[in-house]
Each structure stands twice: as C-alpha cells, then as structure tokens.
Chains A and B, each alone.
Chain A
Amino acid sequence: MSALRIRDVWKRYGLLPVLKGIDLDIDNGEFTILVGPSGCGKSTLLNIIAGLDTASQGRIEIGGRAMDGVAAKDRNIAMVFQSYALYPSMTVRQNMTFGMECRRVPKRQQIEAVDRVARLLQIEALLNRKPSQLSGGQRQRVAMGRALVRDPLLFLFDEPLSNLDAKLRVEMRMEIKRLHARLGSTIVYVTHDQIEAMTLATRIAVMHQGEVQQFADPDTVYNRPANLFVARFMGAPAMNTLPARLAAADGRLVAILGDGTVQLPVPPACGDLSQAGREVVLGIRPECIAEPTRHFDGDPANTLKLDIGVEMTEPTGAETIVLLRLAGQEALARISPDIRLQPGATARFAVDTRKICLFDPDTERLIA
C-alpha cells in the first residue's frame, strides 16, 4: 500500500513557484529522503505533507486518505524538527505526553507509551528534566521520543541532525537507521547532507529548483545519476564531469576527452557505435581513478592504466584526494593514503571505466 502519495503539488509565493509539480509515491516502511541544496523546496514540501503549509495546487494522500482540508493534527503524522522544538517550560515527560493529552489519550496509556519509548531511546533518566538541562544529543533523542509515542502512519524529519556536532551526528544517524530497521516505520526525511541521504535512505528524492530531479534507490542515484545536477550534488568529492566526444575505435565506442590526448572506453549501457561523433559530458567518480595497483572488481579489461599529471594532493588520512590535469581539464582522484605523489609530476593511475556515465551537454540528462 502506498503510505504517501504526492500528486502534481505546486507551491507559489505570489508569482514565484517554489514547487513545480511534485509527484512521489512512497510505500509503507520506506525511508525516503528529500535531499537538495537550500532553497530547493524540500522543507516546503515536508511542511505541505504535514499540513503546516498549504499547496497552491495538487493532492496529498496519507495512508490512502486524501488530505485536502485535513488539519496537521488529524493527519496521523509525527514530526521531528531541526531545532528540536521541545516545549521549554515542560519536562521531558510532559513534552512526550502533550500530544496524547491533546488527543485525550487515557492517562494510563500515556504512561505506558512514555515508558516504552523512553526505554527504546534510553532516556528514562531524563524524564523529569527540562529541555534546558539537556545536551544537544539528549534533546535530539527527546524530540524523536515525542514523535515515537504517537505511533503514526508517517514520520517526518526536518533536518534533524543539522544542529549536532559531527561526531554526534554520525552516532545519531546510525541510531535512526537502527530504529527504522527495528520499527519498520515509514519515514520522510529532509536533509541537505548527501551522506545522510546515501546512508539512511531506501529511496532518495533529489530536489533542485522546486523539482524532483531523480527519485530512486541510493545505488541508482549514485551510480546512474539522472542528470548532471544529481551527478555533481551526490558524492563528496563530486563526480568529475568532463566534455568529451564519442568515437568508434576497434569496434568499440570510446569517449575522447577534451584536448584528445585521452580515450576512455564507454560501457555498453551508454550506447552503441551509432552514437559515434556525438558531443557528450563524461562523468566519472573520483574513486574510479586510483593508484595503478588497485584492482577494481570485474573484468581487468575495464581497467585502464593512464599517465596523468598531478597538480595537488589532499591527504585526509583515510585516503588522499588528488587533483589531476586530465586531458587539459581538472579532475579528482581518490588514492590510497600510503602513496605520496609529488605535485607537478606525472604518475600512473588505474581508471575503472565500468561506471562511466554520459550526459547530453544540452539537456544535461543521462544518456542511457
């Protein structure tokens, strides 16, 4: 069953459209992430789903029920906010029971729900504290607890981890993933952090300028991005995108990069020889360019050895990012941290050509 159906949702402020016909179908138990740069409309969409904002046009269905004119409180949803939005004058327990109190849930049931969720999130010791006495991570837990006591059809998360420091964010990310695996709840989660999107989602909706650019599982979004925006937005460092021209060589389709000094074989999925002569943008992830001893999976024929000029190196500890001059253009590679390269020198690299993507330079769409 479809837990959430969004049909042709538009939102305009005056003449300015911020959502341009959003269509999404989200199944029960899915962890959907809306990801995009700030201003892409993802939070507006979440607010519209929650009933906190109204669409200018379009339909929202939650659990098969149309939400036209249904107030936020009657949508059977729970929401976690970036600022946590804990009621400052209430204790943690009161924060968690406030919603049930509004819905006139019997006292006994309230106590049971709080106990159950407090145990789940390990916040039993905090129940009598005020939010001001909690650390950021504890507030985050309480905010989730407040959502969990409701047992709703749909959980909405609005950048819930953005206010945490890096270490805590990683911990909470894992915890949210564990919770989802355990509870099997349906979640719509907004973030601008593409790593959060990749690690948490069962499906990712990449948004840009009020439109869904791609709605697919993380693998597809990462490996077969629907267009150049998605290719450049997902992944850090971003995918290398280089102008190229397709040609036939030895009965195979190859891409000739920039100044013509580099030829890369194109995976068969990207097209056949009839495409020869076409101008394209070639996308290749930095991790597909590595030190020459690297063995990528699969047929060694897909791995190409190339000598490329090194401009700069950025050791991160776990790996080293190398800025290359590839056929006259800048490109990034990710190599083993044990290898020290001299800027200005030329070094040999292994290039994994299986995951090369081609994009149309005019429409910026993936050529499939």
Chain B
Amino acid sequence: MPSRLVRPAIHGVLLLLAAAYLVPLLVVVLNSLRSTDDIMQTSMIGWPRTLVWSNFSETWSHYCIAEHCSGIRPYFVNSLEMTIPATIVSTLLGALNGYSLALWRFRGDTWVFGIITLGVFLPEQMKLVPWVIVLRDLGLFNTIAGLVLIHIVQGLSFTTLFCRNYYTSIPVDLLKAARIDGAGFFRIFWRIVLPLSPPILIVTVIWQFTGIWNEYLYGVTFAAGEQQPITAALIALSAHISEAPLYGEQSAAVLLAAAPTLLVYLFGGRYFLRGLTSGAVK
C-alpha cells in the first residue's frame, strides 16, 4: 500500500471500531427518547418518531421498582451517599498510607506494602463471607454505612498503591529539611506532601468513584429494598421487563445511572492520564 494511504487506513479502521463500540450507547440514548409504543411497534433499533423527554422525569421520580413507585431517585441518592464518603475517605487514607510507606521507612515496610497491595488481586466474591460476618457483628447489615465501610477498606489497596508509587518520587531531602525545620509527621503531610499530590489524588478519586459507583455485587448482597445503590436497583427494574417492558423509561434509567461516571470521565479523563504518568516534583 502506498505510504500516504497508511495513515488514513489506520484512522478508518479505528473509527469503525470506535463506532461499533459506541453503537450500544447510541441505541440506549435513542430508546431513552422514544415512547414505548414506538419501540414496540417498530424495533429496538430505530430513530425516534417524536422526541419523548418525559422518559427521564418518569424514571427519575415515578417509575416502580419492586413495588416502590418513587423512581430511581432514592437509589441514585443512596449511591451518592455511598460513593462520595467512601471515595474521599479511602483516597485520604491511601494518601496517608502511601506517604508513610514511601517516605518514612520502617522495619518491615516493604512487607506491609506487599500485603496491602495483595488486596488489589483478591476477587471480591472471595471476601463476601468475611464481610457478612463483619457487617453482622457491627450491626451494619443492610445499611449504606456498611457499604461505605466495605468500599473504604477494599479501596485502600488501590489508593495506597497509587499514592505510595507517586510519593516515592518525592526527594528524601525534602523530608529531612522539614524535619530540621521542626515539622512532624502530620505537618509534613499537610503542608508539604499533600500540596504536591493533586495529580495522584485526581487519579485515585476518579478510580475510586467509578469503581464504587459501578460496583454491583456488594450492593446487591448487603443492601435490600430502599437501601440499595442504583446498580442493584437497576436489576430489580429489568426484572419487570418480561411482564411490562418499558424500554424508553428503562433506557433513561440506565443513562441516568451511568451519568455520574460518564461526567467524571469527561471532566477528569485527561487528568487521569496525566496523573498516572507524572512525578511529584519536577
């Protein structure tokens, strides 16, 4: 092939693949704007005859899930109440862990780090039973607080790994200077290390937020009824499809449930790549 055609050919293939990848999203977006009649009479795949925006308001506040006709809003709120505190706390604790592991060497620190990061490789279904016991004993079964606790602890492996690897690029001399200046462990963290951390904190926040928001297994196992996060509630919603399919509203529900992570990606995606590849101090 002539070399001047290589680049357009590559681009063409990539565009095709990207389009194929985006087709499901397109179908859902289109269906969220069609009436159920429209969908039933023609096909799941098609352009809206008229734009039906009411699918979103219906599904947000009136749609019935497991006999509760309050829409997906309460579940959406559950997810926010679970995801935001769990993201913030696991990120801050991860930063603190990473800081002490990277910059305050102590006997056995590499072992501690190894054991913490082992958590990254443990599948979550393996930890179901231990969590059942912990939540039962703490009286946190079927509460959002219980889910927050789970996600903080589970998240620590990742946040510690990210932050520790980032903080190893902070020169040790910086800490020595601060120690001579009279700063202690926490003052050095707040005044010197944390101000250097935005790149890696953005990475961990995005990672934690999307991970916790999208998490399904714990949500469906440890919460029931009105305590469920949105991922679990969506399944209850689709359980009705066989009886009375409401494709338009269901598509709108899926889009609303995916909106926060999509927004986080759109606004934070470039920081994500930048943060993963940058060092702390130029």
Contact = CB atoms under 8 A, between A and B. Distances in A.
Interface of A: 47, 50, 52, 71-73, 77-79, 81-90, 98-99, 102-103, 132, 146
A87 B180 contact: no
B183 A98 contact: yes
Nearest to A88: B281
Interface in B171-218: 171, 173-174, 176-183, 187, 191-192, 195-196
A79 to B, nearest CB: 5
Given A85-B171, A85-B173, A87-B174, A99 B196 contact: no
Given A83-B171, A102-B187, A50 B176 contact: yes
Contacts of B281: 88
Contact of A87 (B176, B179, B182, B192): B192
Nearest to B280: A88
Q: Which of A84, A88, A90, A103 has the most CB of B within 10 A?
A: A88
A132 B282 contact: yes
Query: Which 5 A-B pairs give the minimum distances between C-beta atoms?
Result: A99-B181, A89-B195, A102-B182, A73-B182, A85-B173
Interface size class of B (residues with CB under 8 A): 10 to 19
A79 B192 contact: no
A89 B195 CA distance: 6
Nearest to A78: B180
Contacts of A81: 173, 176-177
- Looking at chain B's contact residues, the main secondary structure is helix
A79 B187 CA distance: 19
B176 A85 contact: yes
Contacts of A50: 176, 180
Nearest to A79: B180
A99 B182 contact: yes
B179 to A, nearest CB: 5
A73 B177 contact: no
A122 to B, nearest CB: 22
Interface in B153-180: 171, 173-174, 176-180
A157 to B, nearest CB: 13
A72 B171 CA distance: 18
B180 A52 contact: yes
A73 B179 CA distance: 6
A77 B196 contact: no
Contacts of B195: 88-90
A77 B187 CA distance: 20
Which of A72, A78, A87, A98 has most B Cβ within 10 Å?
A87
Contacts of B282: 88, 132
A71 B176 CA distance: 12
Given A87-B192, A89-B192, A132-B282, A72 B180 contact: yes
Contact of B181 (A84, A88, A102): A102
B181 A52 contact: no
A79 B177 contact: yes
Contacts of A90: 191, 195
Nearest to B173: A85
B178 A98 contact: yes
Contact of B180 (A88, A99, A132): A99
Given A98-B183, A102-B187, A87 B173 contact: no
21 contacts: A50-B180, A52-B176, A52-B179, A52-B180, A72-B176, A79-B180, A81-B173, A81-B177, A83-B173, A85-B171, A85-B176, A88-B195, A89-B192, A89-B195, A90-B195, A98-B178, A99-B182, A102-B181, A102-B182, A102-B187, A146-B177
A50 B175 CA distance: 13
A79 B181 CA distance: 9
A1 B209 CA distance: 62
Contacts of B183: 73, 98, 102
Contacts of B191: 87, 90, 98
A39 to B, nearest CB: 18
A93 to B, nearest CB: 14
Nearest to B192: A87
A48 to B, nearest CB: 12
B180 A73 contact: yes
Most chain A CB neighbours (cut-off 10 Å) among B179, B182, B187, B192: B182
Nearest to A52: B176
A84 B174 CA distance: 8
